[in-house]
Amino acid sequence: MSIQPGDTIPDTAVQCIDGDIQPAQTAALFAGRKVLLFGVPGAFTPTCSNRHLPGYSAHFAEFRQRGIDVMCLAVNDGYVMQAWAASQQVPAGLLMLADGNASFTRALGLELDGSAFGMGLRTRRFALYAEDGVARLVQVEAPGELRVSSAEAMLVAVDSLG
């Protein structure tokens, strides 16, 4: 079962990229802050590179004005996520989380079997908003869609939480 509002963010090891690649624990990344985490099936893939990540880069300042940190998750290694961030000119402070072994993705219950497309285990396209390590809103996309997890949709959804 996937993470639901009210659930605690699971604690697993990831690599965190904000320029450099650093080991991190998800519990520490979410503790004491408001976080918008969005997950993508893969770095350098079409929808992820052309729409999903660019939307969060374009609206990054709007999230920050609301006191919300933004993080992007994918089942890729740290070097791939670092190169993708550089190629996308991701703003400083938008953290890229590399979940190379899919440990965090599986702990969230948001894995996707992309084997039919030669991609193996990946992250489903989603966005979640958490406060102090507790999920308040979880939006998971239907296959092939980018609607409820877009930056624009999440700005509206977070504002509606009050």
What residues are annotated to the active site? 48
Collapsing DSSP to helix, strand or coil, 8 comes out as strand
Q: Do strands 111-113 and 121-123 pair parallel, antiparallel, or not at all (unpaired)?
A: antiparallel
Q: Which two tokens stand for residue 4?
A: 């639901």
Per the document, the length of the chain is 162
Rg for the chain, CA atoms, rounded: 14
Q: Which two tokens stand for residue 26?
A: 């998800």
